[in-house]
Amino acid sequence: MSEFPTLDNFYFYGKTVLVRPDFNVPVDPNSRKIIDDSRIREHAETIRELSEKGARVVIIAHQGRSGDPDYLESLKGHAEALSTILGKPVKYIHDLFGEDAKNAIRNLKPGEILILKNVRSFPEEAKDKTPEEHSKSKLVQELAPLIDIFVLDGFSVAHRGHCSVVGFAPVKPVCAGRVMEGELKALSKVFEKPEKPMICILGGAKAEKTVTIVEYMLRNNIADSILTGGLVSQLFLAAKGVNLGNVNVEILKRKKLYELIPKAKELVEEYGDSIKLPVDVALDVDGRRIEVKVSELPSEKPIMDIGVETANTYGKLVANAKSILVSGPLGVYERDAFIEGSRRVFEAVALSKAYKVAGGGDTAAVLRKLNLYDKFNYVSLAGGAFIEYITGEKLPGVEILKRK
Ligand code: 3PG
């Protein structure tokens, strides 16, 4: 990762700083209250630092997608949550770039914090455009004259070429906030020049990008081995010609993974033993965990986890790694009977001396459930952005930082 500007490169006292965190958090569908404030807690450290340095902090963020049940036009609840975390007042204004928002920004004193209305209420926000195109939008044209510096803190929104992510870069000085900085440093350590051997553990249920990740990591000699679990392993087992049973094939079809089999087959043929597959799996037999060897498949019961023999083999492999990247649980961890594979493997990861990074989808949640969160050098709260990064794609939000 090439150098990028951070908070250390600017003097903030009295400056108006527009911060773009990722405040998109789970909300209860009935009460509309925030049920997990982890992301707000993460970004609070960037905001605290700016406020303590005397910046006038203006926050621009989104919650949900317009029209979806988790969409909240007002971020008042987010302002309250941030205020509780910081132990200081956080103002909220239900306006994005009208006169009310502009006056609220002009009236901020050094150290004060203001959150603007959900930026996805602006119809042009969620369109993928170039930074130059977005810089001509009303949002940027109205707010830019009032701000001095733009801080991009949300790595987890960096895969979106959205207006509030890239639009201020052509017209304002830009730097990474602490979350973005930490994320890019951790990812570059494990992903760009990893200490070898490097092991990547891939699981999870949303596996559409898996084949691309495996190909990128092996072709570019980033990973030495890929250990598979979850639907990822079922995809590769099917690619090797294992008959999983109709119920499991149907799941692959429903998740649009079945069509990836030909590409997965090519990778298995090309990289052979570098792609590790389960030798046993756990089935859901009327709610009970029953393990069978892969050689005993097909089964008409759903595969829910890797088996204990596989987990122990994976555990031995990670013990010698110097760098480990984990993306996704290895089984249906939400059910206690099927968390065992993830437990055994991730406990071995925790014990290893490797530099370890985890992220994507449900990874933070499974590590929290296993009490292993703190054993990792870095746990990313990003979903899509993390996955796109590890497929080798360029993220628009990261590109604007590198450009500076
Ligand atoms: C996320 O939750 O991954 C980010 O906030 C991006 O949200 P989006 O997928 O709705 O763009």
What are 175-218's pLDDT values in tens digits?
999 999 999 999 999 998 899 999 999 998 778 899 999 999 99
pLDDT at site 403? 86
Q: Lowest-pLDDT range, 18-27, 110-119, 343-352, 359-368? A: 359-368
Nearest atom (ligand 1) to Cα of 160? 11
Report residue 326 as tokens: 């984990």
Nearest atom (ligand 1) to Cα of 64? 10
The CATH class that applies to domain 7-183+397-402 reads alpha beta
Q: Lowest-pLDDT range, 166-180, 292-306, 352-366? A: 352-366
Nearest CA to ligand 1 atom 9: 384
Best mutation site among 24, 27, 37 for ligand 1 pocket (most ligand atoms within 8 Å of CB): 24
Nearest CA to ligand 1 atom 3: 383
Burial state string for 107-138 with b = 16 or more CB within 10 A and e = fewer than 16: ebeebbbbbbbbbbbbebbbeebebebbbebe
Pocket of ligand 1 (CB under 6 A): 22, 24, 65, 156-157, 160, 383-384
Mean pLDDT of 154-162: 97
- The secondary element (H helix, E strand) that includes residue 40 is helix 38-52
Nearest CA to ligand 1 atom 5: 24
- C-alpha 68/C-alpha 371 separation (Å) is 32
Best mutation site among 157, 179, 380 for ligand 1 pocket (most ligand atoms within 8 Å of CB): 157
pLDDT digits (tens, 9 = 90+) for 240-256: 999 999 999 999 999 99
Q: Assign 174 to helix, strand or coil.
A: strand
pLDDT at site 400? 97
Nearest atom (ligand 1) to Cα of 65? 10
Find the 167 Cα to ligand 1 centroid distance in Å.
17
Residue 293 per-residue DSSP state: E
On the question of a common fold for 7-183+397-402 and 196-353, the answer reads yes
Best mutation site among 40, 42, 62 for ligand 1 pocket (most ligand atoms within 8 Å of CB): 62
pLDDT at site 67? 87
Nearest CA to ligand 1 atom 6: 157
Question: Which of the two residues, 69 and 109, has the higher pLDDT score?
Answer: 109
Contact 186, 361 (CB under 8 A): no
Instruction: Name the E strands within 7-97.
Output: 16-20, 56-59, 91-92
Find the 156 Cα to ligand 1 centroid distance in Å.
7
Contact 377, 355 (CB under 8 A): yes
* Region 196-353: CATH code: 3.40.50.1260
- Decide if pLDDT at 1 tops 50: no
Best mutation site among 60, 156, 386 for ligand 1 pocket (most ligand atoms within 8 Å of CB): 156
- C-alpha 221/C-alpha 215 separation (Å) is 10
Q: For the CA atoms of the chain, what is the radius of gyration? A: 23
> pLDDT-derived band of residue 360, with 50, 70 and 90 as boundaries?
confident
Cβ contacts of residue 312 below 8 Å, gap of 6+? 344
Calculate the alpha carbon distances from 146 to 49, 106, 204, 348 in Å.
21, 7, 44, 51
* Mean of all residue pLDDT scores within the chain: 96
Q: Lowest-pLDDT range, 69-73, 288-292, 305-309, 360-364? A: 360-364
Calculate the alpha carbon distances from 393 to 89, 189, 239, 358 in Å.
39, 17, 25, 18
pLDDT at site 168? 98
- C-alpha 323/C-alpha 141 separation (Å) is 45
pLDDT at site 236? 97
pLDDT digits (tens, 9 = 90+) for 27-83: 998 899 999 999 999 999 999 999 999 999 999 999 999 889 899 999 999 999 999
Q: What is the identity of the amino acid at 377? A: N
List the domain boundaries for the chain: 7-183+397-402, 196-353
pLDDT at site 257? 95
Q: For a pLDDT cut of 70, what percent of the chain falls above it? A: 99
- The secondary element (H helix, E strand) that includes residue 201 is strand 198-202
Residue 54: what are its φ and ψ, rounded to 5°?
85, 15
